[in-house]
Amino acid sequence: MARRYTSDLSWKDVTPKSVFLNRRQILAGSAAMFGAGLFAADAQAQEALVPNSFEDITSYNNYYEFGTRKEDPARFAHMLTTQPWSIVIDGMVDNPGTYSFEQIVEGMTIEERIYRFRCVEAWSMVIPWNGFELADLLDRVGVQEGARYVAFETAFRPNEMPGVRLPVLDWPYREGLRLDEAMHPLTILATGLYGDAMPNQNGAPIRLVVPWKYGFKSIKSIVRITLTDTEPYASWNAAQPNEYGFYSNVNPNVDHPRWSQATERRIGGGLFAGRIPTLMFNGYETEVASLYEGMDLAAFF
């Protein structure tokens, strides 16, 4: 499709899992990395694009439905039943309905993409996701004229998700994107990582990935997608609007009220790893800045 990014690199160019046991081997063996248009020349920048280990990615998570500590999702997410799975797609679409996971992924071009993925608490990972463009699914169901936003909803299962017994948020978790953000080729529905099926703690069986935004915008374990003409409810924005804006783009020039967002800590970098500067739009400025042309990014944060 015309909107897809192309590259002369493929998944075989990604450093194998076994090499992650030796970071020196990683840096020596990963001279060419595909990162949705991001390429690094110097050693420090190159290391910033080396994917985290599978252990890092699956053991240090935010998924409050299973608890607020970083280790809670890995401890408790096995309780989530992911088969069978279905997603309701409704609102301003030509073909609304309840679609099974198998129906959704059938015929989709599943690609592997390495994205920088940044959480709001100023830590980041580089994750190789398996997934397909959200735009492909929206094209299939038919977006009606007048639709301006896409709303998402996470599963709500108190018997399987111990975290929802606490009033951390107004459950179920909900998020939203502007339609042009949703249709951007960097926005994917991820079904796995590092060539494997999606672990429960990372949002199985299907989750959103919007790599230029903070991690909470990339909603996990999706059960509903709704096209609408009004700005949708977003859980963190509703809970603490002075801290979490609807857009939630990575902007190092706009601090969180309780901490600076100018630098970040790379998970897996070791106890003495230093902080590195946070990049505008998480390093995807060239690809996505045009979406926000003319907007005051300090007011629309």
Q: Which domain holds residue 22?
A: 18-292
First CA to last CA across the chain, in angstroms?
31
Q: What is the pLDDT of residue 122?
A: 86
Residue 10 lies in a domain: no
- Structural tokens at position 269: 């970098």
Specify if 62 maps to a domain: yes
pTM over 0.75: yes
**Residue linked to tokens 């230093």:** 274
Highest mean pLDDT among 121-125, 261-265, 271-275, 289-293: 289-293
> Does the pLDDT value for residue 151 go beyond 70?
yes
Q: Tokens standing for 134?
A: 């959200």
Count of the separate structural domains present in the chain: 1
How far is residue 278 from each of residues 122, 222, 268, 285, measured CA to CA in Å? 8, 29, 17, 12
DSSP string, 155-191: ---TTT-GGGGSTTSSSSPEEEEEHHHHTSTT-EEEE
Does any domain span residue 11? no
Does residue 281 come out as left (phi exceeding 0), alpha (psi in the -120 to 50 range) or beta? left
Residue 12 lies in a domain: no
In a domain, residue 299? The reply is no
| 85 occurs within a structural domain | yes
* pLDDT tens per residue, range 68-116: 999 999 999 999 999 999 999 999 999 999 999 999 999 999 999 999 9
Q: Is 167 among the domain residues?
A: yes
pLDDT-derived band at 3, boundaries 50, 70, 90: low
Q: Provide the mean pLDDT of the chain.
A: 87
What amino acid occupies position 280? M
Provide the CATH number for the domain around residue 151. 3.90.420.10
Q: Is residue 241 part of a domain?
A: yes
As given in the structure block, the two tokens for residue 57 are 């990615």
198 SS3 class: coil
